[in-house]
């Protein structure tokens, strides 16, 4: 495995952890992980890349080795603000190659439209946006949020890292035992009694109080000036879960002016775990193009 180091930055009152696989600064990319994931999750992808890539991957607030948020829930716009400051630290002068998976893909796509001058190329891995909502849903959503704030939630503990690895394989049967054991060590933390619990802040499970506004997201996407590579997994369950039909899916891709579309075979939503070599080849071809 290509070794990585840990960088720490003060970002909006939080100590942010950024994993760094060093390489040629002229071949730099920033990887953004998804919901309930961590930066180390990209290890298999980095190993499949040419060794000269200079790769940075933050743990979002409330995940991995980054501080938990100082509020009782998490707000999506905070990811944009955190990313804006992180990129000032990682690449203060040059535009960046931004790669995001799932939640990270949604953040990257919005950011590239809000700050188009900061993004050289954009890769969206399984970041579809969310279901279209209607104003009439607001009362129920606010009530769910209020109910969530009253619950002192926690993640269930596992007997050991091996048990967590088994759970990861149950959730994703394509995951090899070796990769599951590696991920368990980074997704989990050992408790004083020897059991293992996920590192993430349980407050991430509280629903966002504000409805997803598709038209606002699409307005941001339409401002993206960078070339875009949109990558879906052939066996993804997420598109179906969101409830997008083929026409709606195509409409979202069409919001990006300079888009290339690709599909990774033999992979589900965690395509960087299932087929890191395929994803790496797509990234290198796209990011290295003139």
CATH number at residue 239: 3.40.50.1820
Residue 283 has pLDDT above 80, yes or no: yes
CA–centroid distance for 12 within its chain: 20
Can you tell me whether residue 101 is helix, strand or coil? strand
Give the containing element (helix H, strand E) for 231.
strand 228-233
Residue 272 lies in a domain: yes
Residue 12 to residue 84: CA distance in whole angstroms: 11
Residue 203 lies in a domain: no
pLDDT at position 79 = 98
Residue 50 lies in a domain: yes
pLDDT at position 239 = 84
Residue 126 lies in a domain: yes
Residue 83, number of CB atoms within 10 A of its CB: 27
pLDDT at position 249 = 94
> CB of 264 within 8 A of CB of 149?
no
- Which positions ≥6 away from 123 have C-beta within 8 Å? 97, 98, 99, 100, 108, 228, 229, 231, 283, 286, 287
Residue 178 has pLDDT above 90, yes or no: yes
Residue 162 to residue 185: CA distance in whole angstroms: 9
Kindly list the strands in the beta sheet with 96-101, ordered across the sheet, starting from the edge strand earlier in the chain. Answer: 5-11, 14-21, 53-58, 24-32, 96-101, 119-125, 228-233, 259-264
> CB of 2 within 8 A of CB of 30?
no
Express each pLDDT in 262-272 by its tens digit: 999 999 999 99
Residue 199, number of CB atoms within 10 A of its CB: 19
Residue 169 lies in a domain: no
pLDDT at position 289 = 87
Residue 34 lies in a domain: yes
Q: Which of 6, 5, 35, 12 is nearest to 88 (CA)?
A: 12
Residue 43 sits in which domain range? Answer: 5-133+213-287
Which residues pair with residue 8 across a beta bridge? 17
Residue 152 has pLDDT above 80, yes or no: no
Residue 65 lies in a domain: yes
Query: Parallel, antiparallel, or unpaired: how do β-strands 119-125 and 53-58 relate?
Result: unpaired
Stretch 102-127: mean pLDDT, rounded? 98
Q: Give pTM, 2 decimals.
A: 0.96
Residue 88 to residue 105: CA distance in whole angstroms: 19
How many independent structural domains does the chain possess?
Answer: 1
Give the containing element (helix H, strand E) for 186.
helix 177-187
- Residue 55: what are its φ and ψ, rounded to 5°? -120, 130
Residue 36 lies in a domain: yes
Stretch 152-162: mean pLDDT, rounded? 90
> CB of 105 within 8 A of CB of 230?
no
């Amino acid at each position: 495995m290509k070794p990585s180091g840990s960088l720490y930055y003060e970002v909006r009152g939080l100590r942010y952890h950024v994993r760094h696989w060093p390489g040629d600064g002229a071949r730099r990319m920033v990887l953004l992980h998804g919901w309930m994931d961590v930066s180390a999750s990209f290890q298999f992808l980095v190993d499949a890349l040419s060794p000269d890539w200079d790769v940075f991957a933050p743990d979002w607030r409330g995940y991995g080795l980054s501080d938990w948020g100082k509020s009782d829930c998490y707000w999506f716009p905070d990811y944009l603000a955190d990313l804006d400051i992180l990129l000032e630290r990682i690449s203060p002068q040059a535009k960046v190659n931004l790669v995001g998976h799932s939640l990270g893909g949604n953040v990257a796509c919005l950011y590239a439209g809000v700050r188009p001058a900061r993004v050289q190329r954009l890769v969206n891995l399984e970041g579809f946006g969310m279901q279209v909502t209607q104003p009439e849903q607001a009362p129920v959503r606010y009530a769910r949020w209020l109910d969530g704030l009253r619950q002192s939630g926690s993640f269930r503990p596992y007997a050991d890292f091996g048990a967590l690895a088994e759970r990861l394989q149950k959730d994703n049967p394509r995951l090899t035992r070796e990769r599951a054991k590696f991920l368990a060590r980074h997704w989990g933390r050992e408790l004083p009694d020897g059991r293992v619990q996920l590192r993430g802040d349980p407050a991430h499970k509280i629903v966002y109080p504000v409805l997803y506004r598709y038209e606002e997201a699409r307005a941001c996407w339409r401002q993206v000036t960078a070339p875009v590579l949109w990558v879906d997994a052939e066996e993804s369950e997420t598109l179906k879960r969101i409830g997008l039909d083929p026409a709606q899916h195509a409409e979202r891709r069409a919001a990006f002016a300079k888009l290339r579309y690709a599909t990774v075979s033999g992979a589900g939503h965690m395509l960087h775990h299932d087929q890191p070599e395929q994803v790496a080849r797509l990234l290198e071809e796209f990011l290295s193009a003139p």
